[in-house]
A and B are shown apart, each in its own frame.
Chain A
Amino acid sequence: MPSITVKNLSISFPLYHENTRSLRKMAHLFVSGRLKQDQHKKILVQSLRDINFTLKQGDRVGLVGQNGAGKTTLLRTMAGIYEPITGHIRIEGNISTLLDPTVGMNFNLTGRENVQLKCSINGYSKQQTKEIEKNVEDFSELGTYLDLPVRTYSSGMQLRLGFGLTTAIDPQILMMDEWFLTGDAGFILKATKRIEHIAQNSQILVISTHSAEIIAKWCNRVLWLDQGFLKMDGTPEEVLPIYLNKPYEEIVGKD
Chain B
Amino acid sequence: MSDHNPTIAKEPVIDLRSVSLTQNIKLALVDLLQGILQISLGWKLGWLDVKLRYRGSILGPLWITIIMGVKITTIGVLYAFLLHLDLKHYYTYVAISVVLWTYMSGMINDSCTIFTNASPLILSQRIPFSIYVWRTVFCNILILLHNLLVIIVVFSVFKIVPYTLYLLLPSALLWIMDSLAIGILFGVLGTRFKDIPPIVSAFTQAFFFITPIIWKASSLNFNKDYILLNPFYPLFEIVRAPILGEPLTSSIWIAAIGYSLILWIIALFIFSKTRFRIPYWM
Q: How far is the CA of A172 from the CA of B66 in the complex (A)?
A: 50
Q: Is the CB of B276 within 8 A of A76?
A: no
Which residues on the B side are within 8 Å of A89 (C-beta)? 14-17
Q: Is the CB of B41 within 8 A of A80?
A: no
Q: Is the CB of B122 within 8 A of A81?
A: yes
Q: Mark B98-139, 1 if CB is under 8 A from A, else 0.
A: 000000000000000000000011111111000000000000
Q: How far is the CA of A18 from the CA of B265 in the complex (A)?
A: 31
A13 to chain B, nearest CB (A): 6
Q: How far is the CA of A86 from the CA of B18 in the complex (A)?
A: 6
Asked if B279 is at the interface (CB within 8 A of a chain A CB), the reply is yes
Decide: A80 near B126, CB < 8 A? Known: A90-B13, A93-B12, A120-B41: yes
Q: How many chain A residues touch B (Cβ–Cβ < 8 Å)?
A: 39
Tell me the residues in window 1-34 of chain B with beta carbons closer than 8 Å to chain A beta carbons.
3, 11-18
Q: Is the CB of A82 within 8 A of B280?
A: yes
Asked if A239 is at the interface (CB within 8 A of a chain B CB), the reply is no
Tell me the residues in window 238-282 of chain B with beta carbons closer than 8 Å to chain A beta carbons.
276, 279-281
**Size class of B's contact patch?**
20 to 34
Q: Is the CB of A99 within 8 A of B14?
A: no
Q: Is the CB of A76 within 8 A of B17?
A: no
Q: Is the CB of B38 within 8 A of A102?
A: no
Q: How far is the CA of A88 from the CA of B3 in the complex (A)?
A: 10
Q: Is the CB of B280 within 8 A of A13?
A: yes
Q: Is the CB of B48 within 8 A of A117?
A: yes
Asked if A106 is at the interface (CB within 8 A of a chain B CB), the reply is yes
Q: How far is the CA of A93 from the CA of B11 in the complex (A)?
A: 8
Which residues on the B side are within 8 Å of A83 (C-beta)? 16, 276, 279
Asked if B40 is at the interface (CB within 8 A of a chain A CB), the reply is yes
By beta carbon, the residue of chain A nearest B41 is A120
Which residues on the A side are within 8 Å of B192 (C-beta)? 16
B25 to chain A, nearest CB (A): 15
Q: Is the CB of B41 within 8 A of A121?
A: yes
Asked if B52 is at the interface (CB within 8 A of a chain A CB), the reply is yes
- 7 A-B contacts (beta carbon < 8 Å): A83-B16, A83-B279, A88-B16, A91-B16, A97-B125, A104-B125, A121-B41
B interface, CB within 8 angstroms of A: 3, 11-18, 38, 40-41, 44-45, 48, 52, 55, 120-127, 192, 194, 276, 279-281
User: 3 smallest A-B Cβ distances: which pairs?
Assistant: A104-B124, A83-B276, A88-B17
